[in-house]
């Protein structure tokens, strides 16, 4: 290992490779800030440039763009509630309320520190545990992945306010239904497309998330009658834009959250196909349950824990996704799938022998992650006061910009006017549902996990001759499902237990 670290340091610390790390971090951060793009688009744009470089430099550049985009993706989520990247959807739950409360600078600073900590801690894990975790991830089968998706869906209880668990579950089902629209991946036939040719490829995630978050948020702001109070809020927010100070109490609150979320995010990232999105949602739900009744009420209203957890987890998972890529040749996400193609294009076969046959590639990527996370922090912290000034723009200018950017961002992905029409429709429906207090996050989670859940369930049934016995015959699958059941039932039954405690305490007081 020591020899490998020295090889990695020698390769990553060469002047040209350091320049590529800086360029990758800057480009990735900038692209991550723009709703409508993301790490996959950024890496795809980098392939023509990377192909002209040697393998180590090319992979270092693309890796820097990847975690730079994840790092910068929180900015649009926090400032304008427009998460263009799936892994930053959970960041908007508490980051955007903090910005509305005049704490945009602090929210961006918390996101920056959390992202940096998650990336660095996960890089250490990657260095130490990559070979071991590769063998563990090989033991996961389709049945276990299906159970993991179910566990991810139980996080809906964390997004629901008290008494609204049923609404959250209903929205999750809606998300699962929307994920089935398009072409059946197994049989290759269109389903639920209503005969519309444009729906054969399914509904775009970007379209759905921009409609339900950015577009509906802008429409709500336009329809709100309290313009005077809105202007007052803008003035108050403007006066606090430069404040990035984090108190000692907030630091004490963040440290254990960062530790737990780094471990959780890295382990989820190691699993092929899981990725940063599931990690961020699971970390958010886990922290809300750990927080307790009093602190848990702050989630969704500007909680420090609610912002630190997903930001730490998604960066840790982005690093963890390199474990299956480098050690097994299995892409852990769509972005690492593009990087897999780039490695194969270099004539390098990722797998168990990569760190033996091409140690300079394996170790330089890991070492460059430490360097890259430091560069990201140095680049982003000084820019936070300037980035946060987006909130100082009056709403009469900012809202049309958000509407324009949302529509153009979706159009530039597909160059199809049908997507614009569908986005407006979803935005109108989301506006109605938000007025009825239906949460949007469970629907997005159901949509994201729906495809993977269906694919793994079909594979599990095929392996087990269409028998559902795999749910209880495989110990790992059963354990994950039991944890998922507990996570779902505890929030639903806790009000009942509370009433029972009150009645018992009332009886004891009357007896006294």
Give me the pLDDT at residue 230, please. Answer: 46
pLDDT at residue number 353: 63
Structure confidence at residue 235 (pLDDT): 47
- Is the pLDDT at 259 greater than 80? The verdict is yes
Burial 140-158 (b: 16+ CB within 10 A, else e): bbbbbbbbbbbbbbbbbbb
Q: How far apart are CA 11 and CA 8, in angstroms?
A: 5
Q: Is residue 512 part of a domain?
A: no
Asked if 171 and 430 count as a contact pair (C-beta separation under 8 A), the reply is: no
Task: Give, as one character, the DSSP assignment of residue 298.
Answer: T
Mean pLDDT for 124-128 is 80
Does residue 312 sit within a domain? yes
Q: Which long-range contacts (CB under 8 A, 24 or more apart) does 507-511 make?
A: none
Residue 103: strand, helix, or coil? coil
Residue at 507 is within a domain? no
Residue 37's pLDDT band (boundaries 50, 70, 90)?
A: low
What letter does residue 88 receive in the DSSP assignment? G
Contact 201, 182 (CB under 8 A): yes
Q: Is the CA virtual torsion 462, 468, 470, 476 positive or negative? A: positive
Mean of pLDDT over the chain = 76
Residue 503 placed within a domain: no
Does the structure show a pLDDT above 60 at 286? yes
Is the pLDDT at 16 greater than 70? The verdict is yes
Is residue 312 a contact partner of residue 120, using CB atoms and an 8 Å limit?
no
Q: Which of 171, 174, 176 is nearest to 450 (CA)?
A: 176
Domain-embedded: residue 506:
no
Of residues 271 and 58, more confidently modeled: 58
List 190's β-bridge partners, or say none: 183
Query: What average pLDDT does range 194-208 have in this prediction?
Result: 82
CA-CA distances (angstroms) from residue 381 to 107, 130, 141, 374, 384?
A: 12, 31, 42, 11, 5
Q: Is residue 134 part of a domain?
A: yes
In the chain, the number of structural domains is: 1
| Neighbouring-strand partners of residue 182 | 191
pLDDT of residue 183: 83
pLDDT class of 239 with cuts at 50, 70, 90: very low
**pLDDT tops 60 at residue 391:** no
Tokens of 157: 């209880």
Per-residue pLDDT of 444-470, as tens digits, reads: 778 877 877 888 888 888 877 777 777
Is residue 139 helix, strand or coil? coil
Task: Give the domain extent around 68.
Answer: 1-494
Q: Taking 60 as the threshold, does the pLDDT of residue 405 lie above it?
A: yes
pLDDT of residue 12: 77
Q: What confidence score (pLDDT) does residue 322 get?
A: 78
Residue 505 lies in a domain: no
**pLDDT at 113 exceeding the cut of 70:** yes
Cα 477 to Cα 139, 150, 380: the distances in Å are 12, 10, 41
Q: Which of 90-104, 182-196, 311-325, 351-365 has the lowest mean pLDDT?
A: 351-365
Maximum separation of any 2 CA atoms in the chain, in Å: 83
Q: What is the pLDDT of residue 103?
A: 82
Q: Is the pLDDT of residue 263 over 80?
A: yes
Q: Torsion over CA of 488, 492, 498 and 499, rounded to 10 degrees?
A: -150
Of the candidates 159, 133, 83, the residue with the CA atom closest to the CA atom of residue 270: 133
- At residue 238, the pLDDT reads 44
Q: Looking at the domain assignment, is residue 508 inside a domain?
A: no
- Quick one: pLDDT at residue 500? 67
């Amino acid at each position: 290992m020591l020899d490998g670290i020295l090889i990695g340091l020698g390769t990553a610390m060469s002047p040209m490779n350091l320049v590529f790390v800086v360029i990758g971090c800057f480009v990735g951060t900038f692209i991550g800030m723009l709703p409508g793009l993301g790490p996959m688009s950024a890496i795809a744009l980098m392939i023509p440039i990377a192909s002209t470089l040697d393998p180590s430099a090319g992979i270092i550049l693309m890796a820097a763009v990847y975690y730079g985009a994840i790092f910068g993706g929180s900015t649009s989520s926090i400032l304008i509630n427009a998460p263009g990247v799936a892994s930053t959807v959970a960041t908007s739950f508490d980051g955007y309320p903090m910005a509305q409360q005049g704490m945009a600078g602090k929210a961006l600073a918390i996101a920056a520190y959390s992202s940096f900590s998650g990336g660095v801690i996960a890089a250490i894990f990657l260095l130490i545990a990559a070979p071991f975790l590769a063998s563990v991830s090989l033991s996961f089968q389709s049945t276990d992945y299906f159970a993991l998706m179910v566990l991810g869906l139980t996080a809906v209880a964390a997004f629901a306010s008290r008494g609204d668990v049923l609404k959250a579950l209903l929205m999750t089902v809606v998300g699962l239904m929307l994920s089935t629209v398009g072409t059946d991946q197994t049989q290759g036939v269109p389903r639920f497309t209503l005969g519309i040719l444009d729906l054969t490829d399914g509904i775009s995630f970007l379209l759905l998330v921009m409609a339900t978050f950015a577009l509906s948020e802008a429409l709500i702001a336009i329809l709100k009658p309290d313009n005077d109070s809105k202007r007052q809020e803008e003035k108050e927010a403007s006066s606090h834009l430069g404040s990035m100070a984090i108190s000692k109490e907030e630091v004490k609150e963040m440290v254990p959250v960062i530790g737990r979320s780094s471990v959780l995010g890295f382990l989820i990232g190691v699993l092929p196909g899981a990725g940063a999105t599931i990690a961020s949602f699971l970390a958010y739900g886990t922290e809300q349950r750990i927080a307790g009744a009093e602190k848990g009420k702050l989630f969704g209203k500007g909680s420090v824990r609610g912002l630190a957890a997903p930001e730490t987890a998604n960066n840790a998972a982005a690093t963890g996704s390199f474990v299956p890529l480098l050690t097994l040749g299995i892409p852990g996400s769509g972005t690492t799938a593009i990087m897999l193609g780039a490695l194969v294009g270099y004539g390098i076969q990722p797998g168990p022998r990569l760190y033996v046959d091409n140690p300079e590639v394996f170790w330089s990527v890991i070492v460059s992650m430490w360097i890259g996370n430091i560069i990201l922090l140095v680049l982003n912290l000084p820019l936070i006061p300037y980035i946060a000034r987006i909130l100082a723009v009056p709403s009469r200018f900012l809202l049309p910009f958000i509407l324009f950017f949302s529509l153009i961002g979706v159009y530039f992905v597909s160059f199809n006017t049908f997507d614009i029409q569908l986005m407006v429709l979803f935005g109108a429906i989301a506006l109605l549902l938000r007025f009825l207090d239906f949460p949007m996050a469970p629907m997005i989670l159901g949509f994201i996990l729906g495809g993977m859940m269906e694919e793994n369930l079909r594979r599990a049934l095929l392996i087990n001759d269409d028998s559902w016995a795999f749910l209880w015959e495989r110990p790992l699958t059963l354990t994950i499902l039991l944890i998922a059941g507990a996570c779902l039932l505890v929030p639903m039954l806790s009000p009942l237990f509370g009433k029972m405690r009150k009645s018992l305490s009332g009886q004891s007081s009357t007896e006294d």
